[in-house]
Structure 1
């Protein structure tokens, strides 16, 4: 089954480049184009695409207003194109709040290059975010019994919470962290796949919305209860001692910067069985290897329940590897965290 894509951008050149990438893939077809937000809404209602690519700065109606109206009238997975600036980060976060599922950096050079890495990422993300809508699965089926698990009782004290996520993560983290009480008893490490220019703005936004403190992690930070530390985009975050953060560039052997696996794994030596690791929505399997190390140290691992994920790749990898102590719907995660972290 072909996935129909609506391409929305006020640049005819950019639309042409995106169209050629999409139509070159056997699973994707451009079903329409729009040059402003108003036209995007009209064509969404008429063409009913499976997924939309959306620019944010357009005449007549901007991308965020269009996202908001589309999600109200004809809910459709929307992938935003964003500039890698502070303004672009804030606008993209607004678009995610309005209902967009993910974003990609907008670069005329990268999209027109013969061997552009953006092309592969664009195709992968379009297919991934459209799959639930067109009735395809995002991962191998998991037995229903693994999808719902009873809330467990834990004897250990949780001295650290780690949360790893990717596609769909900004909204998921917002829904979890805004529900935590100001006196939450543990520090939290947040590992979200995100460009370096975005994480500062994202941490600021979360800090303004939450009762706990949220900050972009810095090298040498000492962990405090009731504070969440967001790994800087394009960097790696690990623990070098109990309660102490190290931020560094890392090397090319790790696919993700930041890497959930690296941060999870670094907690094993210093926290043993006193860590709680949570894997939320995201593509791929980052976090699975780190979760395995934590489980070997008798720490606890939770996965987000698949039907509540934007993309069930990362949580499903945890479940399929039999690493999940609990499989929890997104809106119940904060409640369970508050119950077990005391």
Structure 2
């Protein structure tokens, strides 16, 4: 099946090269080109493409405003082009919040080279997002200012029940099986030593929705793994920190974990959790070029399994591929529960589907259920 694409960019060179690259793939048909956001909105309505590529800085109407208009009229996957700078990251995050599903770096030099990696990535990304579900826009809800008034009374925590644990094999060998729980059953409420959340495509909006639902007094530390370039993660951590009651920061090597703090893995690196002498902290390691994902959910979740056996909670949200499945397997083998986002609310049902199909998911939840469920099951 051929995927139809609308290209929106104010650069005639970029429009021409994108059209050539996409057409040469044999799987994509460029049905129209637009030189500004206003033309893009009009052509999106008349041509009804499967995917739209969108620049962010254009005359007449900028890319973010165009995305808002397009999503309002007919949700369609929009792939943004962005500069790999701090300011480019902030603009791209605004575009994702407006409804774009993903982004790629805008590199004129690389896009001009025949057979470049960016060209292959572009074609594959368009084919991947063609069947995605654009996320609805989020209202702005900045973190409330500190007040001298007393905090609202906390809801009584549900009665805690001991989590089910599988007995160790009698011969002392490693147990590679994974216990299953009846679908639809909630895992028992308990205090987790750590919560790990992994995500990719659609993750920035999903993480914002989940974390914004948590109180400042959330009793467990959180580690976040979002597939994102190194230049983007500082701006993303700052955005989350402004919009959430809990504190959110980009992790630094050796930083200690504590309740009410969420640490975001730096782009291009790997984040591991260690627990020595009762003082849990994160270690930030160089990104190994042999690994597809930097950061990788598998690596972070695997370290949680080793550092906090049976005391962690893993969540896998929207994203392409299967990163996180093996990390979830390790956590489940050590007795920790796993939750996944459901298909209907996922932008791309890849990562959570891989976990669910492997029989590793204890609870499958809609995106807007995850934050309240965390409060109910952890606080």
- Aligned pairs for 1:317-336 (under 5 A) are 317-336=354-373
1:155 deviates by 6.3
Q: Give yes or no for the alignment of 1:297 onto 2:321.
A: no
Residue 56 of structure 1 corresponds to 56
1:114 deviates by 2.1
Structure 1: tracts of 5 or more residues without a match: 134-145
Deviations 1:53-78 (A, max 9, x none): 00000111110111111111222110
Q: Distance in 1 between matches of 2:81 and 2:52?
A: 11
Q: Distance in 1 between matches of 2:275 and 2:207?
A: 26
Q: Distance in 2 between matches of 1:42 and 1:157?
A: 52
Q: Distance in 2 between matches of 1:317 and 1:234?
A: 23
User: Helix, strand or coil for the counterpart of 1:308?
Assistant: coil
TM-score for both structures, normalised by structure 1: 0.93
Larger Rg: 2
Deviations 1:132-170 (A, max 9, x none): 57xxxxxxxxxxxx9x94241326531100000000000
Kept in 1: contact 2:190–2:377 (CA 8 A): no
1:27 deviates by 2.2
Residue 146 of structure 2 corresponds to none
1:2 deviates by 1.5
User: Helix, strand or coil for the counterpart of 1:334?
Assistant: helix
Residue 38 of structure 1 corresponds to 38
Residue 205 of structure 2 corresponds to 171
Q: Distance in 1 between matches of 2:58 and 2:132?
A: 29
Q: From 253, 256, 268, give the equivalent of 1:234.
A: 268
Q: Distance in 2 between matches of 1:313 and 1:75?
A: 20
- Aligned pairs for 1:11-160 (under 5 A) are 11-132=11-132, 149-154=183-188, 156-160=190-194
Residue 318 of structure 2 corresponds to 281
Q: Distance in 2 between matches of 1:250 and 1:63?
A: 32
TM-score for both structures, normalised by structure 2: 0.84
Q: Distance in 1 between matches of 2:115 and 2:258?
A: 45
Q: Distance in 2 between matches of 1:241 and 1:132?
A: 38
Q: Distance in 2 between matches of 1:119 and 1:247?
A: 31
Kept in 2: contact 1:156–1:273 (CA 8 A): no
Residue 162 of structure 1 corresponds to 196
Structure 2: tracts of 5 or more residues without a match: 134-179
Kept in 2: contact 1:51–1:129 (CA 8 A): yes
Count of aligned positions: 329
Kept in 2: contact 1:156–1:274 (CA 8 A): no
Q: Distance in 2 between matches of 1:166 and 1:95?
A: 16
Kept in 1: contact 2:189–2:376 (CA 8 A): no
Q: Distance in 2 between matches of 1:155 and 1:87?
A: 41
1:122 deviates by 1.3
Indicate the RMSD between aligned Cα atoms, in angstroms: 1.5
1:253 deviates by 2.2
Q: Distance in 1 between matches of 2:192 and 2:78?
A: 37
Q: Give yes or no for the alignment of 1:260 onto 2:297.
A: yes
Structure 1 window deviating more from structure 2 (189-198 vs 108-117): it is 108-117
